[in-house]
Every structure is written in C-alpha cells, then in structure tokens.
Amino acid sequence: MPPAVLARLEAEFDVVRGETVPEGVEGLFITPRSKMTAAAIAALPASVKIIATFSVGYDHIDVPAANRRGIIVTNTPDVLTDATADIALLLLLAASRRAREGEAMVREGTWVGWNPMQLIGWQITGRRLGIVGMGRIGQALAHRARACGMQIHYYNRTRLAESEEAGAVYHASLDSLLGVSDYLSLHAPSTAETNKLLSAARIAQLPKGAIVVNTARGNLVDDDALIAALQSGHLAAAGLDVFTGEPDLDARYRSLPNVFPLPHLGSATIETRTAMGMRALDNLAAVLNGKPALHPVQV
C-alpha cells in the first residue's frame, strides 16, 4: 500500500492482518488477490459488515453472496480512470510502433544500422479505434485517442448522450463495431456474459492488420484465438496489460514479438494508488460509523 494509505489505516482503524478473519472484525480491506467466493463469504464471521476492495473491478467477489449475508461490497471507481486510459494509449502506441521489437534491438545490440524499412509500424492518425464498453475508462481513452487524430467508434449496452459522444460513432452491436475497428480496445467488466467475448469468430471480423488492446481483464479474450491471429498475421499486434490466470499467463505471450505485454500496470501511479486506498478507507470508515457506503457495488 502507498505510505499515506498505510498511515491512515493505522491511525483510524484497529487493524488485524492475515489470510483468515477472526470474530469481531467488521470490515475487510482487500485487493483482487483475495478471492471472495461464495464459500469464503459463507465462512466470514457474523461481525463483518463491509468488504472494501482496492480496485474498480469486483469479479473476484461474489457480490450477491455477500449481499445475501447483509455485507456491503465497495469498490474504487473514478480515481483510476485517467491512469488506466493512459496505459491503454501507451499499449496502443507501443503495439502500433513495434516498441517491443525496437527496444529488444537496442538492448540486445542487434541494431547495426538504419534502413528505411526497419521495424516499420503503422500510424494511428486517421485510423479507426473501436472501443468496447464506453464507460469512464473507455471515454477517457476516446478523449486521448481523438487528440491523436483517431476516429472513435464504440459499442456499449446503451448509447451515450449526444453531448458525451463528442463525435464518436455508436454501434448497436459488437459485430458492427468489429468490422470498422483498425484498433480495438476492451473496457468491459469481467462477467459471465463477457467471458471470451473476443472469440475466434469475432477476431475474424476485425480488418486484416488490426491491433487489439486489453486493459480490462484477461478472460475477455480467447487466448488461443488471439495468439493464432497474431501468429497468422490476421492481427498485426496486441498490447496487453491483463492476462487470463495472471501472473501465470499463457507462455506464448512472452515470446510473440508482436505482443507488447505489461504486468497489470493500469492503475499503477502513486497518485492513483493513493487515491484508490483513500477511497477504500472512506468506504470502510463510513460503514463502520453506521453511515451509508460511498461506492457500493450494485449488481
């Protein structure tokens, strides 16, 4: 935890650390590494009132099971929007400009000269970016990509208000979005519905040479299908911050030259991680003082 979060935690709360939850504990402060399954929730002592996760995602928590026990679940929205959108843009650019191969060439000493076709990438200006899930992070990426001259298309369960769209083109179906996406960035939550949303059939609908970016959750992608498309050249490249089963990701991602991988850095700035911690502590403090939670997860 960032130092300011730890200092506040110690100052305001009576803290018990560990993998088990003793009777009397009223609030849990967790990260996505704690898998709060229905069984784990059933085993919690009756004293627990709130589970505050240090994340915006809550796919590691069985929220209905917690709510059935009268336990409130809270997350940390808003404060990580910009940091995560920055990483999405970084991945988009890095994948498009072959940053992984370029860096390897410099580090490994294989850069022996310059030639006009060396590590030729693709320019993002004027290209179409398809955004799957136009929530806070999707919109923040749209804002950045627009400044780079990209044309924004999006698919969302509901259409944004015209004032929020800022010229982005709405697609009522994912299939329609895929057909126009030179670049595709995923910003949907991980649910049973979105599991392997980017399947082989869907990847086949992307234009040849498309680039895929994922800062959401690894299981939104069918790994075998994505890897096959990166190997065949149907997809030019991918920029990935999240992986199924991370950190034990599919080993093929480690060696594919056209994959720019990062170890789940979306929210990893000191400003954002501090704000996330403060947000989680605000929720804990509210509920433990008998007030309503500030960011309850609604499912």
Sign of CA dihedral 35, 41, 47, 53: positive
- Residue 34 or residue 205: which is nearer to ligand 8YV going by CB? 34
Active site residue 159: no
Task: Choose the stretch contacting ligand 8YV; rule: CB under 6 A; options: 17-25, 55-63, 169-177, 192-200.
Answer: 55-63
- Residue 156 or residue 267: which is nearer to ligand 8YV going by CB? 267
Active site residue 187: no
- Residue 1 or residue 40: which is nearer to ligand 8YV going by CB? 1
- Residue 56 or residue 198: which is nearer to ligand 8YV going by CB? 56
Tell me which of 29, 54, 155, 243 binds ligand 8YV, using CB under 6 A: 54
Asked if 57 is part of the footprint of ligand 8YV (rule: CB under 6 A), the reply reads: yes
Number of residues that bind ligand 8YV (CB under 6 A): 10
Query: Can you tell me the distance from the alpha carbon of 194 to that of 196, in angstroms, rounded to the nearest whole number?
Result: 6
Tell me which of 8, 97, 98, 264 binds ligand 8YV, using CB under 6 A: 264
Query: To which H or E segment does residue 291 belong?
Result: none
- Is residue 15 within 8 Å of residue 9, measured between CB atoms? yes
Task: Choose the stretch contacting ligand 8YV; rule: CB under 6 A; options: 16-24, 40-48, 97-105, 260-268.
Answer: 260-268
Asked if 219 is part of the footprint of ligand 8YV (rule: CB under 6 A), the reply reads: no
Task: List the catalytic residue out of 128, 264, 273, 279.
Answer: 264
Asked if 266 is part of the footprint of ligand 8YV (rule: CB under 6 A), the reply reads: yes
- CA 2 and chain centroid, separation: 20
Asked if 135 is part of the footprint of ligand 8YV (rule: CB under 6 A), the reply reads: no
- Is residue 60 within 8 Å of residue 35, measured between CB atoms? yes
Tell me which of 55, 74, 214, 283 binds ligand 8YV, using CB under 6 A: 55
**DSSP bridge partners of 51:** 28, 73
Give the residue carrying structure tokens 């336990």. Answer: 71
Active site residue 193: no
Tell me which of 44, 48, 51, 56 binds ligand 8YV, using CB under 6 A: 56
CB of 266 to ligand 8YV, least distance (A): 5
**CB hemisphere CA count around 287 (13 angstroms):** 25
**SS3 call for 131:** strand
Phi, psi of 50 (to 5 degrees): -145, 140
- Is residue 95 within 8 Å of residue 237, measured between CB atoms? yes
Task: List the catalytic residue out of 217, 273, 279, 295.
Answer: 217
Asked if 29 is part of the footprint of ligand 8YV (rule: CB under 6 A), the reply reads: no
Query: Can you tell me the distance from the alpha carbon of 130 to that of 253, in angstroms, rounded to the nearest whole number?
Result: 23
**SS3 call for 139:** helix
CB of 236 to ligand 8YV, least distance (A): 26
Query: Can you tell me the distance from the alpha carbon of 158 to that of 164, in angstroms, rounded to the nearest whole number?
Result: 12
For 5, 10, 28, 258, the CA distances from 21, given in Å and listed in that order, are 21, 18, 8, 44
- Residue 61 or residue 168: which is nearer to ligand 8YV going by CB? 61
Tell me which of 10, 31, 39, 118 binds ligand 8YV, using CB under 6 A: 31
- Is residue 44 within 8 Å of residue 71, measured between CB atoms? yes
Residues labelled catalytic: 217, 246, 264
Instruction: List residues near ligand 8YV by CB under 6 A.
Output: 31-32, 54-57, 80, 264, 266-267
